[in-house]
Amino acid sequence: MELKDKAVLITGSKRIGAVVATELARLGTDIALTCHTSVQETTSTANNIQSLGRRAVVIQADLSQSADCTRAVEETVEKLGRLDVLINMASIYRSKPFDELTEEDWNTQLTVDLRAAFLCAHAAVPHLRRAGEGRIINFSDWIARSGRPRYLGYLPYYVAKAGIIALTEALALELASDQILVNTVAPGPIVAPTGTSKEEYRQVEQITPLGRWGGEIEVAKTIVALLQNDYVTGETIRVDGGRHLK
């Protein structure tokens, strides 16, 4: 896919999402960004995109609500005139012991991480078809891609991210005849979670074969490669510095 003048919707626009959006704008795309509460940070990203000469739209949405998933897509098309790429990055990352988990914890995690990706894709597909081709990129996790959980306290998160891989494969098959390619990025040690200690940071470096955290730009480069490729679909690509090898 040629990226210049294409319209991209990114759900979840903090940290990694902000860098992805900026890099895609550098390649000539217009960007719509959704946010739930991080309006100030998202507006700052939009301003950076506009400084690059591209259009940027900020859409405040609660993607746990199905109507907001549809509205995010429709508002993108209304303001940017088209939709060519959907990047489902919205996610919740929190730890909670199994014995303390509630039904609400389960529902919230799967609603935001998995259901919203499906609903946004379902709303986006008619517009991608209209464009003649399209791309959907979902976000999983290197652990889910490796096929087994490694850390206690992330049960709903792991299940949701494993579900994303299945969603990607099924969507890729459903949409192949429309030339809509669907893939997943599964990040590993890209940026440290808030609250990571210096010792924890160093431990991750030591157990990652490449010996370092990747940084947001490595995810952005992977997304660009998937968008520009016309023959890869149904794949889940780990961006983890070889972490899965240990």
What is each CA distance from 35 to 43, 80, 101, 122, in whole angstroms?
A: 9, 17, 26, 19
CA-closest candidate to residue 34, choices 65, 1, 3: 65
Task: Tell me which H or E stretch contains 166.
Answer: helix 155-175
CA distance 228 to 237: 15
Three-class SS of residue 141? coil
Residue 93 bears catalytic tag: no
Question: Which residues fall within 8 angstroms of residue 2, CB to CB, at 6 or more apart?
Answer: none
Selected catalytic residue, list 151, 157, 158, 201: 157
Strand partners, 11: 34, 88
Residue appearing with tokens 């389960």: 106
Helix (H) or strand (E) holding 207: helix 198-207
Active-site amino acid positions:
157
